Amino acid sequence: MIRTIPGGDQIIVLHISPGQLFGIAPALQRDTYPATSVAVAAAESIALSWPARLRSDFTTRYDGFATESYGTLGQIQETLTELATQAVEKRVAAALLRMVNQSGRKTDAGIEIAFPVTRQNISDMTGTTLHTVSRLLSAWQKDGIVESTRKHIVVTDPHVLVVLSGPGA
C-alpha cells in the first residue's frame, strides 16, 4: 500500500502478505479509503474481491474477518508512527523485520525476503533516501547482518536487526 504525502512523495505504508486483507475502507465505515493510497503488486499476484455490502455478513459469519481488518489498520498506524518518531536506522531495521516476519523463507544463508524488494522500495517504506538505505545495507552486509543483491535480501543475523529496531536503539 503506497500513500502519497503532502509534497508529492510516496511512502510504502504496508506490505501485504499472501492471504492478508486490504481495501479495508468498510472497516472504517467509509466508501473509500481515507487517504491517498493505492495498492501496487511487488510480484505477480491474484487479488480476490467482493462487494463492500457483504462485509457485515462476512464479519458475522467468519471469526477472523474483522480481526484481520483491524490488524491491517494497526499495521498501517504502526508504520506511520515509526515514520514520525523513530531514527532512520531503527525504521529500516523494523521494515526488514516486518518483511521477514510476513514472508520470510528459511535458506542456508539465513531468512530470505520471499519477494523482489529494492533499496528504493525500502527507502519508500521508511521515509528516507535511497542513499541512506544503500549506506545502511552496505554497512550491515559488511557486518554480516544481511546479504543484499539486486531485488533480493537475506537477513543473516535477525537478532541484530531486532536489537537495532528495539527500544533504546
CATH number of 87-165: 1.10.10.10
Percent of the chain with pLDDT over 70: 67
User: CATH 1.10.10.10 region(s) of the chain?
Assistant: 87-165
CA distances from 109 to 5, 98, 127, 145, 161 (A): 37, 19, 29, 11, 16
DSSP-based three-state secondary structure for 35: coil
Quote the pLDDT of residue 62.
Answer: 78
pLDDT value for 23: 65
Contact 89, 164 (CB under 8 A): yes
User: 0.85 cut: is pTM over it?
Assistant: no
Ranges of the chain whose pLDDT falls below 50: none
Q: Dig out the grid coordinates for 61 from the structure.
A: 459469519
